[in-house]
Amino acid sequence: MKKVFIYPKFERFWHWTQATLIMFLALTGFEVHGSISVFGFEQAVRFHRISSYALLLLIAFAIFWHITTGEWRNYIPTTKKIKDQIKYYTTGIFKGEKHPTDKNELSKLNPLQKIVYFGFKVVLIPLVVVTGILYMNYKSIDENNIIVISEIPLDILAILHTFGAFLLISFLIVHVYMTTTGETPTSNIKAMITGYEEIEEEIDKQNKSENEK
């Protein structure tokens, strides 16, 4: 095994900050809906609004970083080896089989991750952000006639925003579980903290292939 620098500082900062903000938004969002009581309704609304602005700012910086560094290429969907990847996650991983795709500095995600993260970035996050902005500013927008959204009932915006929030929470739960499927249960988490990941060297892979033959 060799240590390879996979995750730069900003990517790690963005990853952990985004996760923290999403969890805090979920917490305050549940309180706004009356499901729990932690901060009190007014404080929950205030915290939810502030953290949503922080998430928007983080997203803006993340978009800039992805474009200027070329990291956006990691999220281009592909069907290559997708069947092997699905088979690995459904059965192979429980049999101790070798991972069907290799991770390196230029390709951090497997085919299934590319599709899931692409949907996360271009569908799920925009859904939550857009409905959240419209929901948060619904009255002011309507009163000032800045944007005509009278055709979109407030309850529809609330349902769409809540639906997107539940999808985000589901994604987070699955994501946390998937982090435990590395070489060790904590190796992926450690990599996102240090930036370095242990990757099997090519010579070892060749020797393994020859032994299997």
The separation between CA 169 and the C-alpha centre of its own chain, rounded to angstroms, equals: 10
The pLDDT > 70 percentage for the chain reads 85
**Other CB atoms closer than 10 Å to residue 209's CB: what's the count?**
10
| 136 vs 175, more confident | 175
**Other CB atoms closer than 10 Å to residue 76's CB: what's the count?**
10
Task: Give the domains, in start order, of the chain with CATH numbers.
Answer: 2-212 (1.20.950.20)
Q: What is the largest CA-CA distance in the chain?
A: 73
Q: Is the pLDDT of residue 208 over 50?
A: no
**Beta bridge partner(s), residue 198:** 3
Identify whether the C-beta of residue 33 lies closer than 8 Å to the C-beta of residue 162.
yes
- Tell me what the pLDDT averaged over the chain comes to: 84
Report the pLDDT value the prediction gives residue 204, as an integer from 0 to 100: 47
CB-neighbour burial class of residue 91 (10 A; exposed 0-12, middle 13-18, buried 19+): exposed
Among residues 172, 68, 45, 37, which one has the least CA distance to residue 116?
Answer: 172
- Please state, in angstroms and rounded to a whole number, the distance separating the CA atoms of residues 25 and 190: 25
pTM of structure = 0.81
- Please state, in angstroms and rounded to a whole number, the distance separating the CA atoms of residues 21 and 176: 15
Tell me the pLDDT band of 65, cut-offs 50, 70 and 90.
very high
**pLDDT (average), residues 19-46:** 92
- Please state, in angstroms and rounded to a whole number, the distance separating the CA atoms of residues 211 and 205: 10
Report the pLDDT value the prediction gives residue 63, as an integer from 0 to 100: 94
Tell me the pLDDT band of 201, cut-offs 50, 70 and 90.
low
- Please state, in angstroms and rounded to a whole number, the distance separating the CA atoms of residues 70 and 108: 13
Q: What is the pLDDT of residues 154-180, one digit of tens each?
A: 788 889 999 999 999 999 999 998 888
Identify whether the C-beta of residue 59 lies closer than 8 Å to the C-beta of residue 129.
yes
Report the pLDDT value the prediction gives residue 150, as an integer from 0 to 100: 57
Q: Is the pLDDT of residue 147 over 70?
A: no
